[in-house]
Structure 1
Amino acid sequence: MEIAGSEEIYKFEEKYGDDTLYKKLGKDRAIRENIPLIFILLSAIIVIFHNTGGSLADWDESIYAEVSKEILIYRDWITLHWNYSLWFHKPPLYMWLTAIMYKIFGVNEFSARFWSAIFGIGGIVITYFLGKELYNKYVGLISSMILLTTPQYLNYSRMGMLDVPVTFFIGLSILFFWLGLKNNKYFILSGISVGFAIMTKGVVGLLPFFIVLLFLFLTTNLSPLKNKNLLKGFSASIAVAAPWHISQLILHGKKFFDNYFMYHVIKRSEQAIEGHIGTDFYYFDILKRGFHPYSVFILFAVLYNAKTAFEEKKKEDILILSWIGVVLGVFTLAQSKLSWYIIPIYPALSISVAQFFYKFIEKRDGLIFGGMFIGFVLWISSFFIIIPIHSKLIGGVIICIILFLIDEMIRHQKLLNNVIIKKSISILLVGVLLISTIHLPLVLNYNPNIKVVAQNMKIVSTPNDTFYLYTISSPAPLFYSDRKVSGINDENRLKQIFNDTKTVFVLIKTGEVARIEETYKIISKAGNIMLISNNMSIPPAYVELGCVKAE
């Protein structure tokens, strides 16, 4: 029997030779296999980089943006500064990268957020490869789409903070470790990734070590610990992370040790500092909202992972469970709690839920089918309880209900006893869930009023003028004003500084200005934020974005 198209193949072989034919076929196959990756990459770029230019969020995002700027001001790439003073809170990798962006594109919000967005996209790609390597390309595709549409991951990918970048390096380390079980040379790359994770967010970067140790313990196979390349990987992580830490100990000694290690590592784990408190169930509530709508499937997905991990001894499921367990356990035990600490768990949860969805498509046993049924009911009801209803969501709900009913008829009534149709209905159910969550995020514009007023401070003042903030946090005004700031919360101190003979500027809320009995002049105003001074000769600043010139 002659294969269709064989004549054309023979002609191609005669003209170009066998090798050229096989290379062409291999190239075409590679292109087809990479189509999902290209789709994921383009989707992630469009969604994450959409509307990233608004004003920075107060506190962490503005702090890292300012630290990066002061690298260029001091021309010091070793010791970090914030508010024109030494700053020992975090390692410098993200700030180094941001400072490079400032030199290329200028000091602005896009530059401050660029690398977080890049690492966010990278994390989605890594999740695709992890899902593909652990299970198959379909799980890889679904898991990457879940991560892209995870609200908290998406939000922090678009902010200039450290949690998504460290998640990228943690995921990269886990991917290389898994590949290292087949080719142990990858263990070295896994260790290097851990080093970069440490240089991004300190002790959090050590999470892959604990994940791997728990995985090896649960699989009762500790032999990789004796592997030379794994030891080389461990050494590589030290080689990447140690030089900067040693340099800071040499340059600043006890001051660095007490601030960086004792306060920001030990004390944060032992005490709820700076008001960052929470119960033992704090992160369960964060996951419920931050992983919505997929959070309704977490319990069923993890139970299915546990079932296959311990009944069938599947290493891939044990690795995912180890990842989820270590991240959730470490941050639950730590006494200082912030919502974004839990972000490194999302790639593992995305893969777990994606595997659960895939098994629903492939074969539906009691646990999977029951979990999907309950999950869809909760997912549909959440639209009516949490999210304002509009036509897109209503359409998604109606389609899901119809497809679910059709699927029930196929399974129980055997009206259409066709495997392809059965799987198509299941795929559509999962597809509608994913598609209905996709949206282009709104612009990130956290402090537009502070941005405008602080920028006017830069216009009307000199670098030597004193800039006070009354009951307003300092990071965003510091970044936008290019002036050293000093926070005050005491009303008597506020009155006292206005009697000073030198020029002072105060950023204050309009509702608080009545507390000042002394004469002052309004320099700039935006919304409920105003800039006032004790120097009556300073001309008012003309401002934009709804701000008004003072009378």
Structure 2
Amino acid sequence: MLKTRASREFWLLAVMALLVLGAGLGLRDPWPSDEPRFTLVAKQMVTSGDWLFPHRGTELYSDKPPMLMWLQAAFYTLLGDWRLAFLLPSLLAALGTLACVYDLGRRLWTRKVGLYAAWALLFAVHFTFQAKKAQIDPLVVFFVTLANYGLLRHLLCGPAWRWWWLGWFAAGLGVITKGVGVLALFMLVPAFVAGWLQWPRIRLHSHGWRLWVAPLAFVAAILLWLVPMVATALATGSAEYHAYMNDILFRQTAKRYAQSWDHHQSWWYFLATMPSMWIPAFLLVPWAIPAWWRRLRRRDPRYLLLLGWWLLIVLFFSIPHGKRDVYILPALPMFCLALAPLLPGLLRRRDVQWVLGGFTAVLGVLLLVAGVAMLGSEPAFEQKLIIERGIDRSVTAALGWVGIALGSWAIVSLVFSGRRRFHLAVVSTLAMVWVTYGLVGYPLFNDSSSARGLMLDAGRRIGPDAELGLVGWKEQNLLMADREVATFGFKQRWYRQLQDGREWQAQAPGQRWLLVQDPVMLNCVDRQQAEHVGVANRRGWWLVPAQAFSGECRPSAAELARIRREQSRYDNDE
């Protein structure tokens, strides 16, 4: 009977995770800011056959290592559908992360603790939100968590040399995914402290050659990508490949950390990020801190390793000026694991239950108010959706009904859960929010968020036989185009793209059109002869025929300053 109950509880977790994280798979295209970029690179890998040197249009893309793009391209090769292929790496990575957390909790404590840890992670808003996006971060979180899993299996449950080696190898895979996979090895710092203080259960004894296999496994994982990339770059002698190699190995790693050039934030940024994005689990920290302290005083190395590593990650990313919330996302699984042994006791507390109930009530009321406002009036955020995102009123009306339905579900969940089980209302409400977001929100937002609607409209206007060139374009425009299009560089200044596009158009003026972003419409373009296509992703777009040009396309000083300002803003963020 116990085995049957354990099986039911595990499969309930597995089914819920698949439902929450996988809802909406195949119902949308890539959305900005990063998803179209990575998917476009993966698509060009498939079409060109060049998997070592990723391209964005005609230019090399060296901002990130190609691991995510490789997986997306591989899944497309297997499935033949980009709507499935571009999100599958994130989905599988998130499920793998949950599996590692569950099994580690089971081995370090009990099966029940493993379940609590996985449930806490699954419904941490930051984790679920990122897991439903096709970005690099879910993959990094998985490799870092897998590395932590292997290291802790040896350090706390060992000796387990194969898991020790796997942990180092997974850290190396994390390095070639985003560069920060090496942070998993910070787990050795609190482990050495525990060993030095002679805390029980820590296994750090040297065993000859087996100890040194681990760093070799770490290096071997990195060399899987580094050796063929560097060898090809050196063998071809291409200046473009050399520039790619220098940028991705040096500028995008150590230099970016030491001299951050974007996303500048205060040193305490993450102290605000965790309470706001790691909810609802982080709501219990005020009660968890005294309990953690008591266990540390009892010399329990499990808490020292998990909490010490979490604090080291936060400290590491608090040092540079550049900060983003996703930087510390890899620390969230270990935070949930350290919290999980306390949850059975904390959830029996009346004050904890009232905090969780208050969280659910506030979320429900906000959803209800937003839904009613969108149906009964014209709130500012509705106008923003309509003006900046190009979403029509039928979509905002549908969103209003969705808000009312979700808010009502939250209130009903509170009523039926009872005062001693408000945590079930939290799970019920968040599960419904995420499932609705995938099944209803994806189709509602897709045309405007992915630029699919804009590009299809532009294609219909110019006809099937016309040629199209992009000026001031973003990745979603090239990805969603219904035909082969001409581009004139991506990082090149927008006004120079317009000049090159005009020359290209002049070669076949009756056949070629330019799709131009609004800030690049200089005085040389007669807007009366151009067609305004619409707005997508906060950008206005124009179809410009050859006869709309007159004079030279040389921006004035004011226009040049404005274009540079706009391009810089779009280069840094969507």
Q: Distance in 1 between matches of 2:122 and 2:309?
A: 19
Does structure 1 retain, via aligned residues, the 8 Å contact 2:468–2:515? no
Name 1:408's counterpart in structure 2: none
TM-score calculated relative to the size of structure 2: 0.73
Per the alignment, in what secondary structure is the counterpart of residue 506 of structure 2?
coil
Q: Per the alignment, do residues 299 and 293 of structure 1 end up closer, same or farther by CA in structure 2, a change over 3 Å counting?
A: same
Cα-to-partner distance string for 1:438-481 (whole Å, 9 max, x where unaligned): 22141346662322333566785889853112xx6x12112222
Q: Distance in 2 between matches of 1:296 and 1:205?
A: 28
Q: Distance in 2 between matches of 1:38 and 1:284?
A: 35
Q: Distance in 2 between matches of 1:463 and 1:192?
A: 51
Name 1:15's counterpart in structure 2: none
Q: Per the alignment, do residues 212 and 494 of structure 1 end up closer, same or farther by CA in structure 2, a change over 3 Å counting?
A: same
Larger Rg: 1
Does structure 2 retain, via aligned residues, the 8 Å contact 1:88–1:259? yes
Q: Per the alignment, do residues 299 and 496 of structure 1 end up closer, same or farther by CA in structure 2, a change over 3 Å counting?
A: same
Name 1:355's counterpart in structure 2: 341
Does structure 2 retain, via aligned residues, the 8 Å contact 1:187–1:229? no
Per the alignment, in what secondary structure is the counterpart of residue 532 of structure 1?
strand
**Which is worse superposed, 122-131 or 434-443?**
434-443
Name 1:13's counterpart in structure 2: none
Per the alignment, in what secondary structure is the counterpart of residue 178 of structure 2?
helix
Does structure 1 retain, via aligned residues, the 8 Å contact 2:501–2:514? no
Name 1:306's counterpart in structure 2: 293
Name 1:39's counterpart in structure 2: 12
Q: Per the alignment, do residues 107 and 429 of structure 1 end up closer, same or farther by CA in structure 2, a change over 3 Å counting?
A: closer
Q: Distance in 2 between matches of 1:271 and 1:375?
A: 41
- 1:263 is matched with which residue: 235, 251, 254? 251
Residue 492 of structure 1: CA displacement? 9.4
Equivalences for residues 305-324 of structure 1 within 5 A: 305-309=292-296, 311-324=297-310
Does structure 2 retain, via aligned residues, the 8 Å contact 1:116–1:165? yes
**Which is worse superposed, 528-537 or 34-43?**
528-537
- 1:341 is matched with which residue: 322, 327, 332? 327
1:174 aligns with 2:148: yes
Name 2:226's counterpart in structure 1: 245
Residue 341 of structure 1: CA displacement? 2.0
Q: Distance in 1 between matches of 2:112 and 2:466?
A: 57
Q: Per the alignment, do residues 259 and 489 of structure 1 end up closer, same or farther by CA in structure 2, a change over 3 Å counting?
A: closer
Does structure 2 retain, via aligned residues, the 8 Å contact 1:248–1:256? no
Does structure 2 retain, via aligned residues, the 8 Å contact 1:453–1:529? no
Equivalences for residues 100-111 of structure 1 within 5 A: 100-111=74-85
Q: Distance in 2 between matches of 1:342 and 1:462?
A: 49
Q: Per the alignment, do residues 346 and 329 of structure 1 end up closer, same or farther by CA in structure 2, a change over 3 Å counting?
A: same
Name 2:120's counterpart in structure 1: 146
Residue 514 of structure 1: CA displacement? 9.3
Q: Distance in 1 between matches of 2:350 and 2:529?
A: 68
Residue 308 of structure 1: CA displacement? 0.8
Aligned partner letter, 2:23: H
Q: Distance in 2 between matches of 1:380 and 1:497?
A: 53
Q: Distance in 2 between matches of 1:379 and 1:356?
A: 20
Residue 223 of structure 1: CA displacement? 6.0
Aligned partner letter, 1:35: R
- 2:352 is matched with which residue: 372, 395, 398? 372
Q: Distance in 1 between matches of 2:516 and 2:494?
A: 14
**Which is worse superposed, 222-231 or 31-40?**
222-231
Per the alignment, in what secondary structure is the counterpart of residue 265 of structure 2?
coil
- 2:91 is matched with which residue: 92, 95, 117? 117
- 1:63 is matched with which residue: 6, 21, 37? 37
Q: Distance in 1 between matches of 2:468 and 2:294?
A: 66
Per the alignment, in what secondary structure is the counterpart of residue 31 of structure 2?
coil
Name 1:291's counterpart in structure 2: 278
Does structure 2 retain, via aligned residues, the 8 Å contact 1:150–1:290? yes
Gaps of 5+ in 2: 235-241, 370-406, 549-574
Residue 113 of structure 1: CA displacement? 0.7
Q: Distance in 2 between matches of 1:61 and 1:316?
A: 37
Aligned partner letter, 2:431: I
Q: Distance in 2 between matches of 1:287 and 1:317?
A: 19
Residue 386 of structure 1: CA displacement? 5.3
Does structure 1 retain, via aligned residues, the 8 Å contact 2:21–2:91? yes
Q: Distance in 1 between matches of 2:501 and 2:56?
A: 24
- 2:206 is matched with which residue: 192, 201, 226? 226
Per the alignment, in what secondary structure is the counterpart of residue 204 of structure 2?
helix
Q: Per the alignment, do residues 495 and 342 of structure 1 end up closer, same or farther by CA in structure 2, a change over 3 Å counting?
A: same
